[in-house]
Chain A
Amino acid sequence: MVTVTINSYKTNNRAIMVILDVLSRPSGAVGLFLVLLHLILAIISPYITPFDYKLQNSSLMLTPPDALHLLGSDHLGRDIFSRTLMGGREALAVTGIATPIAVAWGGFIGILFGLVGGRVDEVLMRVVDAFLSLPWILKMLVLIVTFGTGMEVLIPTLAFFYGIPVIRVARAATHDVIARDFIWAAKARGHSRISIIRSELLPNVLDTLMVEGAMRWSWMLLAFSSLSFLGFGVSPPNPDWGLMISDARGFMSFAPWGVIGPVIALSSLIIGINLTADALAKSLGIDRAQKAPV
């Protein structure tokens, strides 16, 4: 009992220390601010938008920004400011659910096979390689075209495909600790594999997985908005930044204000996540630039 309290106090303390350390770095402070701002806006946006996001007004088609419509209006006369405010909700919801699932299943499989090792591990790595060698957009589009574009398809698809590279990272991180004495000690004490994973490996691999999760999140957002941009993500009239940019692009030569709002919103969110991930990696002592971009 005593050890449990000490442990939980310690981890609690460390979490606070890491957060303070992240905040003390300029990139971390800016990044975290951007991410939190977007999260808050996504939650409260339905209550603060000045206009209904799907209200069409043919007299307002492609009007430039003015005091009433801060960012102008789009080709259907909808208020771009309101749509920009609402445009991140679906993306954040989908990626916010899919990222933890991806990290969890990829991390578990990676740690497990890193621990087991041998032939099974070798075969699994070939399968992972094979999956990684296919372009992400091809894998996802084939599933989306077949099963539809709703959230119930996008979340499992993203979670599945983005979990595969996590397997590799978790496995490599496991290999770094597996030869250490305390693992041998646990094996000698007769602990089961699950218990070794839970109490010996996971605490050591968790840092890497957290940084990995932050990176996956930003890549997933990139993927999601690219899919929306290509017309395979959010279905109209729901607002989404990728879709808005894609719509406004056609009128860019005479109505360039249509792309500005969603471009700034989407970029600031992804940059925010990346800055946070960078600061987090530095605080935890993990060099993330060394990792290859898969």
Chain B
Amino acid sequence: MFLMLIRRIFLGMATIGLVSVIIFSGVELLPGDACTQFLAEDQADREMLAQCREDLDLNRPALDRFSEWSGNAILGDFGVAADGITKISTIVGDRLKNSLLLAFCSLVVGVPIALFLGVISGLWRDRLPDLFASTLAIFAMTVPEFVSATLLILVFSIWLEWLPGIVLTSAGAPASEFFPEILLPVVVLSLVMCAHILRMVRSSVIEVLASDYVQMATLKGVPYWQMVFRHALPNALLPAINVVALTIAWLLGGVVVIEVVFNYPGLGRLMIDSISDRNLPVVQSIALIVASVYVCVNLAADLLTMVANPKLRTIYSRS
């Protein structure tokens, strides 16, 4: 068990290392560098370009710079943005905080609803509650986020005028100032997230209900609800841990479109702005942060599942 834990953590770290290599070499391989972008290639003269490269230390060999960059990144220092002045950690810090706030609210709203509906539709498979929830899930999952967001803005902030449709709070503001502006983005994100978790939970409930030990319990004469709560659900909900983990990673890195629609000052919008401005140092840092979150969250979910499920524990330690 202990050995396997170490192995898992090591593999996770190896993945993060690999990600940083991919990010760094990707940026190196693309035509142009931070200076040509910052100084708008055609207008800048050679001297300015050379001076800028000197300032940003771009003349040293790539391997040197990579080891320095990744070394500092581990310590939380991401260097300076393409303008050579702003510290990346301050820009990214506020945005990361806002993204975490958005992710946290969506999780708090979405996960309980998803688990509840998933269990309901699994228990009443192909009956009215299930058909209702599953159809809703297909819609929520497939309709593009910007479409559902646009429709919600149309209904709730333009026609009914209940909620603000756009976030006007600045990036550095404390969390409390984002209410009630944050509500509509949270609704959209919870909808999409709900759909994925619900479908997952539903199929795992159905699978567990068909398993031998649940049938055994039923045949033994265990009351239905006791069977559900004591025998079926603990096993059926285990796979949900992994889906929730993927959702957390997605909430931090993949919600660019939502943030743009609602003008929310999160990590995603910083990412797209930095890409448009070709502010490559910032892009590198965001990519590294998001990828690390992805790996860590997945690792945590795997370990949690193993701790909760003795069966998996033995399978993994044998292999």
Interface residues in A, total, Cβ within 8 A: 45
A145 at the interface (CB under 8 A from B): yes
**With contacts A138-B275, A230-B257 known, is A266 near B19, CB below 8 A?**
no
Shortest distance from the beta carbon of A133 to any chain B beta carbon, whole Å:
4
Chain A residues in the interface with B (C-beta under 8 A): 126-127, 129-138, 141-142, 145-146, 218, 222, 225-226, 229-230, 242, 245-246, 249, 252-253, 256, 259, 263, 266-267, 270-271, 273-275, 278, 287, 289-290, 292-294
B142 and A274 within 8 A (CB): yes
Q: Which residue of B lies closest to A287 (CB)?
A: B203
Interface contact B143-A256, CB-CB below 8 Å: no
Tell me if B15 and A129 are in contact (CB < 8 A): yes
Contact of B18 among A126, A225, A229, A252 (CB under 8 A): A126
Q: Which of B135-161 contact A (CB under 8 A)?
A: 138-139, 141-147, 150-151, 153-154, 158
Q: How far is the CA of A278 from the CA of B158 in the complex (A)?
A: 35
B123 on the A face (CB < 8 A)? no
Knowing A130-B18, A146-B31, A230-B257 touch, does A293 contact B158 (C-beta < 8 A)? no
User: A138-B290, A142-B30, A274-B141 in contact; A230/B254 too (CB < 8 A)?
Assistant: no
B interface residues, how many (CB within 8 angstroms): 56
Interface of A, helix, strand, loop or mixed by DSSP: helix
B50 contacts partner chain A, Cβ-Cβ < 8 Å: no
Q: Among the interface residues B30, B32, B147, B290, which one has the most CB atoms of the partner chain A within 10 A?
A: B147
- Of B80-88, B90-98, B194-202, B309-317, the stretch lying at the interface with chain A is B194-202
Tally of A-B residue pairs with Cβ under 8 A? 138
Bound complex: CA of A242 vs CA of B203, how far in Å?
32
Residues of B within 8 Å of A230, CB to CB, are 256-257, 260, 272
Q: Give me 19 A-to-B residue pairs in the complex whose CB atoms sit less than 8 angstroms apart, sorted by A's number.
A: A130-B15, A130-B19, A133-B295, A135-B254, A135-B271, A136-B254, A137-B268, A226-B146, A230-B272, A242-B144, A245-B150, A252-B150, A252-B158, A259-B151, A266-B144, A267-B139, A273-B142, A278-B138, A293-B196
B199→A256 contact, CB < 8 A: no
Pair B202/A145 contact, Cβ less than 8 Å: no
Contacts of B200 in A (CB 8 A): 289-290, 292
Residue of B nearest to A248 (CB): B150
For the complex, give the distance between the alpha carbons of A218 and B26 in Å. Answer: 27
Given A134-B291, A145-B275, A230-B257, A274 and B138 touching (CB < 8 A)?
yes
Contacts of B62 in A (CB 8 A): none
Contact of B143 with A270 in the complex, beta carbons under 8 Å: yes
Which A residues are in CB contact (< 8 Å) with B31? 146
Cβ-defined contact, A138 with B286, below 8 A: yes
Can you name 6 extra interface pairs (CB under 8 A) apart from A130-B15, A146-B32, A229-B146? A137-B271, A225-B146, A226-B144, A230-B257, A267-B142, A271-B143
Q: Is B111 an interface residue (CB 8 A)?
A: no
Residue B204 is within 8 A (CB to CB) of chain A in the complex: yes
How would residues 240 to 278 of chain B score, 1 for a CB under 8 Å from any chain A CB and 0 otherwise?
A: 001100100110011011001100000010011001101
Distance of A129 Cα from B249 Cα, bound (Å): 13
Which residue of A126, A278, A292 contacts B15 across the interface (Cβ within 8 Å)?
Answer: A126
Cα A136 to Cα B291 in complex, Å, equals: 11
CA distance A270 to B150 in the complex (A): 17
Q: A141-B275, A230-B257, A289-B200 are in contact. Are A134 and B19 (CB under 8 A)?
A: yes
